[in-house]
Amino acid sequence: MKKMIIASTSTIHGSGYLEYLLPTLKVFFADIKTILFIPYARPRGISYDEYTQIVKKAFATAHIDVQGIHQFKNPKEALQTAEAIFTGGGNTFELVNQLYENDILSTLKKVIENGIPYLGASAGSNICGVNMKNTNDMPIVYPPSFATLGCLSFNINAHYLDPIIGSTHKGETRETRIKEFHVFNETPVLGLREGSWLEVLGDEIYLRGKYTARLFKQNAKPLELESGDPLYL
């Protein structure tokens, strides 16, 4: 049975890394001693070691150790023997590229579906959907495919933003971009706002956090979901 926390972001305004999620994560990772961290997204281009240290510091407050997958000679074996897994944010193109480069996408999917607790934030959440086509990131590398884990039957648009009233910005909004996506694709898209996350237990999915989320379907009016609402797709 899948056990997943899929968060829009690792950090909200005025909060430390994962701080806003820690009360939830302490329950979610109860009895977990070590988390396997996937640092491939490399925010700001930082090294895997630097990124792992940031995550290690955050989880130390919950008395959980963190090991980076890059520290293992065999990443497939590391996934198969992990107690729990966290994939951090950064650039989704590079994250997906490295999952293919290391040939671990299917292994990651299998262990998640077998019930290994999984936490994803930002790019680590984007990969939970059918594909990565709704990421906001720049295509700094060219992965072999846009197909991702498919642990969800829809895509995630992390860091979803509403239009700002009175803004002089004349570029496309997130809603406009998603509508463009739906001209050519049927996959539903969930706009996940900052400070919100999904709780996945088997086939049950619930929106958590303080904010609403926006669900887009092809040829349909967007639906606003309240915190606590289940997702039926």
State the architecture of 3-225 in CATH terms. Answer: 3-Layer(aba) Sandwich (3.40)
3-state secondary structure of 6: strand
3-state secondary structure of 193: coil
Residue type, 231: L
Residue type, 12: I
The string of DSSP letters for 87-113 reads E--S-HHHHHHHHHHTT-HHHHHHHHH
**What whole-number distance in Å separates Cα of residue 86 and Cα of residue 71?**
15
3-state secondary structure of 212: coil
Nearest 5°: CA angle at 135, between 130 and 139?
A: 115
pLDDT tens over the chain, length 233 residues = 999 999 999 998 888 999 999 999 999 999 999 999 999 999 999 999 999 999 999 999 999 999 999 999 999 999 999 999 999 999 999 999 999 999 999 999 999 999 999 999 999 999 999 999 999 999 999 999 999 999 999 999 999 998 777 677 666 899 999 999 999 999 999 999 999 999 999 999 999 999 999 999 999 999 999 999 999 87
β-strand pairing of 118-121 with 34-38? unpaired
**What whole-number distance in Å separates Cα of residue 95 and Cα of residue 103?**
12
β-strand pairing of 223-225 with 213-216? antiparallel
Residue type, 45: G
**What whole-number distance in Å separates Cα of residue 24 and Cα of residue 192?**
17
pLDDT computed for residue 232 by the predictor = 84
pLDDT computed for residue 120 by the predictor = 98
pLDDT computed for residue 179 by the predictor = 97
pLDDT computed for residue 170 by the predictor = 64
pLDDT computed for residue 163 by the predictor = 74
Q: Dihedral of CA 92/109/40/158: which sign? A: positive
Residues with active-site annotation: 122, 137, 159
Token look-up 């984007």 returns 126
Buried b (16+ CB within 10 A) or exposed e, 19-45: ebbbebbeebbeebeebbbbbbbbbee
pLDDT computed for residue 40 by the predictor = 98
**Selection from 204, 227, 207, 225 nearest residue 215 by Cα:** 225
Q: Using an 8 Å Cβ cutoff, are 185 and 218 in contact?
A: yes
3-state secondary structure of 85: strand
Residue type, 169: H
